[in-house]
Structure 1
Amino acid sequence: MGVNSSKYQPAGSKNYITPGGHARLKGEFLWLMNKERPEVTAIVSWAAGNGDRSENGDYIYGKKRLREIDKRIHFLTKRLDIAEIVDPTASREDKTQIFFGATVTFSNQRGKKKTVSIVGVDEIDTTKGYISWISPMARAITKARQGDIVTLHAPDGIKTIEILEVKYQEILMKSFEMTAQ
């Protein structure tokens, strides 16, 4: 998941996100506000009381870390404020057409199968096959259906893929608490 993945999102576009992705961002926000920031603030206060701040490593590092935390809190606040939660498991009339939240299995020209899930820009994880809805791959397959042959303009040339399966299922995200150090 990108630290500032929204910089790749077109200006003015919606911040679509799955329920799991929203919970993860909210978990990180709450962890920063209720745990990380208070702990670092306490260290900075203690270090400030130790005299000369110009050569006080705890103070200097603590202030730097507070700036990083505040920047991330600001970013998360903005992303959560404009988030539009889209539940892939919600009933939809046509479950055969590809849209946000779809999990799609396709094969390339050599017959190699791959599965991807279309998620929000704050949820990208290529190791799990989670691709952004604004990625070239997602744009190429959006509105396609099972059995369609789709042309993909990739950096290494034009490729064709065949859509083998379209599913709408829960997209699992690890909670922030589980992945935070």
Structure 2
Amino acid sequence: MSKAFTKESDADEDDDGADGGLPPLPAGSKNYMTPQGYARLRDELLNLMDEERPKVVEAVHWAAKNGDRSENGDYLYGKKRLREIDRRIRFLTMRLEVAEVTDPSVHHGNDQVFFGATVEYADPAGEEHSVTILGIDEAQSQHAQVSWISPIARALLKAREGDVVKLVTPRGAQEIEVLSVRYPAPGVVGSAE
């Protein structure tokens, strides 16, 4: 059958979601990022370009020599993986180009919530929670990190220790109390955890 009549499903699916599944930056805002987050994304980009992509290109080249490409699993998987790598490289390059690196340690000792703060707060039931406010591309919820554009971060930003702020959730608005605010010490590598 002619390729003109077949659906290129892999290419169609791979081109969707070129952002890597991360939320887009709000219009007109900066891509705030900590120095550690920037370094981590830059290391990932360099690893993809210098190590992983050349290995996959070599595997695809080898597989292409083995005959019928339409039934060659190594070739088909390799081409798909190469598209994934190229998409991630484009995404990382774009995000790093517009990154606004902000060092939260400049606020060390401050009791007001800014980007990079680790905030302990109490919900209406009195249960205590802790979150670190980071950039969109570096926040990991499994580590109690939230993006600065998340509802909890927006409610907490600019608040001070002891303040009660309103958090709007799908279940309605609730008041939360800021218990403490911490920042990493200047010169300390790592987050404010």
Partner of 1:130: 145
1:87 to 89, 103, 106: 103
Partner of 2:10: none
Offset of residue 109 of structure 1 = 1.2
2:130 to 115, 119, 125: 115
1:27 to 43, 48, 73: 43
1:5 aligned to 2:22?
A: yes
Q: Distance in 1 between matches of 2:115 and 2:73?
A: 47
The residue identity in structure 2 corresponding to 1:41 is: V
CA contact (8 A) 1:102 1:118 kept: yes
Residue 133 of structure 2 aligns to a residue whose secondary structure is strand
Higher RCO, Cα 8 Å, sep 6+: 1
The two structures have a TM-score, normalised by structure 2, of 0.83
1:102 aligned to 2:107?
A: no
1:53 to 69, 86, 110: 69
Q: Distance in 1 between matches of 2:28 and 2:165?
A: 28
2:165 to 128, 132, 150: 150
The residue identity in structure 2 corresponding to 1:39 is: K
Q: Distance in 2 between matches of 1:80 and 1:52?
A: 40
1:63-102: per-residue Cα shift (whole Å, max 9, x none)? 111011000000000011111111111257x811111111
Partner of 1:171: 191
Larger radius of gyration: 2
Two-structure CA RMSD over aligned residues (Å): 1.8
Percent of paired sites with the same residue: 54
1:125-153: per-residue Cα shift (whole Å, max 9, x none)? 11211100011111111111000011111
1:18-63: per-residue Cα shift (whole Å, max 9, x none)? 1111111111101111111011000000011111111111111111
Q: Structure 2: state its 5+ residue gaps.
A: 1-18, 185-189
1:66 aligned to 2:86?
A: no
Q: Structure 1: state its 5+ residue gaps.
A: 174-181
Partner of 2:54: 38
The two structures have a TM-score, normalised by structure 1, of 0.88
- 1:14–1:160 CA distance, 2 compared to 1 (3 A): same
- 1:76–1:45 CA distance, 2 compared to 1 (3 A): same
